[in-house]
Structure 1
């Protein structure tokens, strides 16, 4: 059966938050956490990877609280900690003792926070284009001006196209379907009024200084970046490599922030290999 947005859709009560997610496959659990931006949601970031990943893993693609079909709670304090607690509660509610956790951008920060605060839950960690490190060689490049998306004339397909073009190296790979999917999510009334990247949100609450605690992460970690990421320079990946004890880094040339989409086949293979290989095996002498 073809995996679709509808036939993989599920809900679970995770503490005080009703979390929407997509599920497919069997085997070790892989929790996938999307990034934050106007109209972002789990299927939009990772839905195109689900078929390949679900051949090897029980793959759960979540909507962050405030996004997609998940609940839209009022969040006090740093959102990264709130999200990490929510997904801890989600795993407990589903009877999952531990999981591989993979996050993109803001979702990568949440994955890092889970590995710092709840190490017993994490098997292996995949972090993609995520805040949480520091720039080693140069100042951070300017962030895309996504928080003005709702200002002035308001949302439009043209504005959404411009936002998404900043996330990839080659904008011609962005289909009208992808742009419309994200645009329609960005104009959902609840998202616009409540989500952190909606016009009523508080984007300044997103980040915590995770770089100070990266050395505490004990999970085997794969850090993935695009060399042409306009939002967070790839030397942040090298900083994570110096701080996370059991880390390795894969940097794609001619690639922006949205690696799972722009380098889909290589990304799927890379992640599957990392999560499946016996990292303790030694070569024969």
Structure 2
């Protein structure tokens, strides 16, 4: 049976938050957490990886609280801790005692927070360009961050703004299709999403300084970065590698922020290899 967003769609009550997710496959659980940006959602970030990864794992692709079809609660405390709480409750509700995690950008930060707070829940961790360290070389805010922060400002969200944002996160611009732009733009202008979006506004939202605690992470971790990432430079990955006791770093050339999509086959091989290998 061909896997689709519709056929794999599920909901679960995780404490006070109803979470939407996609599930397929059997075996060790792999929780996939997407990045936070205008128009982001679980299937949009990891749907293209599901067929290959579900041959080896029980893959659970979530919509972050506030994104996709998940509830959109107000978050007054640190976001990464809030996400960790929700996903810990989600694992309990699904009867999952232990899992692997793969997280993109904000999703990687949430995974790191879970590894810090509840390491017994996490078997191995894969993070793709998480925003958890200072850049040594890139001026702040980066080009990509400016596109994100200004998305809802000025004249408001638009298809043109979404196209410019996608052009900063994807190295090979020939792969940016009208369908991709339209999908991300459509999701970004959902009224409920716009009312609670944590990225896309000039206002700051509270996040915890995880970079100060990277040395405390004991979980075996694979760090993946695109060399041409114009949102979070790969030197942050080098900083993480220097701080973390049990980490390795893979840098993909000719790749921007969205490595699971731009380098789907290589990313899938790296994920399967890392999670299956004896370490």
Structures share fold, TM-score greater than 0.5 = yes
Mapped to 2, the partners of 1:187 and 1:28 lie a distance apart of 36
TM-score by length of 2: 0.95
Mapped to 2, the partners of 1:137 and 1:165 lie a distance apart of 21
Match of 2:12 in 1: 12
Match of 1:135 in 2: 135
Aligned pair 1:158/2:197, yes or no? no
Mapped to 1, the partners of 2:79 and 2:32 lie a distance apart of 17
Secondary structure in 2 matching 1:239: helix
Superposed CA RMSD: 1.5
Aligned pair 1:195/2:200, yes or no? no
What are the Cα deviations for residues 54-105 of structure 1, in whole angstroms up to 9, with x where unaligned? 1110000000000000001111111111001100110011010010011101
**How many aligned residue pairs are there?**
277
Alignment of 1:46-125 (within 5 A): 46-125=46-125
Worse-matched range after superposition: 146-155 or 115-124: 146-155
1:66, 1:194 within 8 Å by CA — same for their partners in 2?
yes
Match of 1:204 in 2: 205
TM-score by length of 1: 0.93
2:147, 2:164 within 8 Å by CA — same for their partners in 1?
no
Specify every segment of 5 or more residues in structure 2 that has no aligned partner in the other structure, as ranges.
Answer: none
What are the Cα deviations for residues 228-274 of structure 1, in whole angstroms up to 9, with x where unaligned? 11111101111111111110000011111100011111111111110
* CA 146–136 in structure 1, closer or farther in 2 if over 3 Å, else same: closer
Q: How many Å apart are 1:156 and its aligned residue?
A: 2.0
Secondary structure in 2 matching 1:103: strand
Q: How many Å apart are 1:13 and its aligned residue?
A: 0.5
Match of 2:237 in 1: 237
Mapped to 1, the partners of 2:197 and 2:44 lie a distance apart of 16
Match of 1:30 in 2: 30
What are the Cα deviations for residues 175-224 of structure 1, in whole angstroms up to 9, with x where unaligned? 2221111111011110011222366x95422x311111111111110000
Q: How many Å apart are 1:144 and its aligned residue?
A: 3.2
Match of 2:180 in 1: 178
Secondary structure in 2 matching 1:144: helix
What are the Cα deviations for residues 107-143 of structure 1, in whole angstroms up to 9, with x where unaligned? 1110111100110000000000111123345655612
